[in-house]
Amino acid sequence: MTSESTNQTRVAIVTGGSRGIGNQTAKQLAADGFAVIVNYGSNDAKAEATVKEITESGGQAIAVRADVADEQAVSAMFDLAEQTYGGVDVVVNAAGRMDLSTLADLDLRVLDEMHRINIRGPFVVSQQAVRRLRPGGAIINFSSSVVGLAFPRYSGYAASKGAVEAMTLILAREMRGRDITVNVVAPGPTATDLLFDNNTEENLSRLASAPPLERLGTAEDIAAVVAFLVSPAGHWVNGQVIRANGGAI
């Protein structure tokens, strides 16, 4: 890590920070001393509740509503982060959408909407990150272990996450000389609303039994991986896909 990044408060933008893994990641990074921009798409109450929880625990955070696939909204979010905290060091692209269907039956309008959030979203946010992150920083994108597990009904979602993996690994190499790491975290089935809202009890039981550790992951499990990767201890890990899934594959 550079002296520039260690002599000042580090600043993180977490997209999708009002719920699920993004929410837990925002709280974990705040606990680790980051000032956090909690990005969200629509739920003002949840975003403000996240900020309140962070600030009441002694951390620094603001909520910023922005469509991650809208380049003007994302640019404005980075502007606000810089105006409020002086710069940006870490970007965590946790915003995502999951729509499940067999390939034959997936509505193409739904496919386009999902890929807008899951592919264009991290692409647009990463463009701003590349232009603005301070040396010693990190970009974390989210894939999914379903890319390897190949569950039926996940074709559209897995396709979007495979695109994120390809984009991220190329970006890591394009950042040569910048002292900025770029990695992918690919969770397995994780106990969040995104999983519960898209699976039956039978499916959830099957998913929980798949890893050798015989449970679903938690948002805390995944946030801990992100926290390591963006810390000085994790700075030598670069251009990798970390499949945080309890050993499911």
In a domain, residue 4? The reply is no
pLDDT at 7: 62
85 is catalytic: no
pLDDT at 249: 66
Mean pLDDT of 140-147: 96
pLDDT at 168: 98
What percent of the chain is predicted at pLDDT more than 70?
Answer: 97
In a domain, residue 249? The reply is no
Pair of tokens at residue 107:
């509505």
CATH of the domain at 216: 3.40.50.720
The pTM of the full predicted model, rounded to 2 decimals, is 0.93
Number of domains in the chain: 1
Q: How far apart are CA 93 and CA 83, in angstroms?
A: 21
In a domain, residue 59? The reply is yes
In a domain, residue 21? The reply is yes
Pair of tokens at residue 196:
């519960």
In a domain, residue 156? The reply is yes
Catalytic annotation, pick one of 40, 85, 154, 157: 157
In a domain, residue 167? The reply is yes
Q: Which residue range(s) make up the domain with 186?
A: 9-242
CA atoms within 13 Å, Cβ hemisphere of 37: 29
In a domain, residue 2? The reply is no
Residues in the chain: 249
191 phi, psi to nearest 5 deg: -75, 80
Residue type, 168: T
Q: How far apart are CA 85 and CA 249, in angstroms?
A: 40
Q: Using one digit for the tens of pLDDT, what is the confidence trace for 150-189?
A: 989 999 999 999 999 999 999 999 999 999 999 999 998 8
In a domain, residue 247? The reply is no
Q: Using one digit for the tens of pLDDT, what is the confidence trace for 46-84?
A: 999 999 999 999 999 999 999 999 999 999 999 999 999
Longest dimension (CA), the chain: 54
Best CA proximity match to 49, nearest among 21, 78, 26: 26
| pLDDT tops 50 at residue 36 | yes
Cβ contact 209:247 at 8 Å? no
